[in-house]
Amino acid sequence: MSDHGVLAQLIGGPVGPELVTVLAGLGPVSRRTVDNAGVPEVIPDATDQVLVAQAWQRVSAWVDSRLNDAVLAIAGSRIGPEDED
């Protein structure tokens, strides 16, 4: 995943449907290539895999936040000191 546009989206882009689409398009990687020195390497490399995992974590937090908003809308969004147990 040497495409700088994809890496920029994974690292600093906004979280939302666009990021989910990018991540879903990456899919699992099982192919291997050989670099110029003849060393086998997996694409994407470990660093890229970490970036992908971090991006999925950001998406997960975003989804949790949206779910919480939906639940609060159902329950009533006015939660104050008098509503606490």
Taking only the tens place, the pLDDT of each residue in 62-76 is 999 999 999 998 888
- How many structural domains does the chain have? 1
Q: Which residue do the tokens 């104050």 mark?
A: 80
Domain-located, residue 59: yes
63 assigned to some structural domain: yes
| pLDDT of 9 | 72
What HEC string does 2-14 produce? Answer: CCHHHHHHHHHCC
Its domain, for residue 15, covers: 4-76
Torsion of CA 52, 18, 65, 53, to 10 degrees: 0
CB 58 within 8 A of CB 19: yes
Q: What is the pTM of this model?
A: 0.62
pLDDT of 63 reads 96
Q: Report helix, strand or coil for 40.
A: strand
Weakly modelled stretches of the chain, pLDDT under 50? none
Residue 81 lies in a domain: no
84 is a domain residue: no
85 within a domain of the structure (yes/no) = no
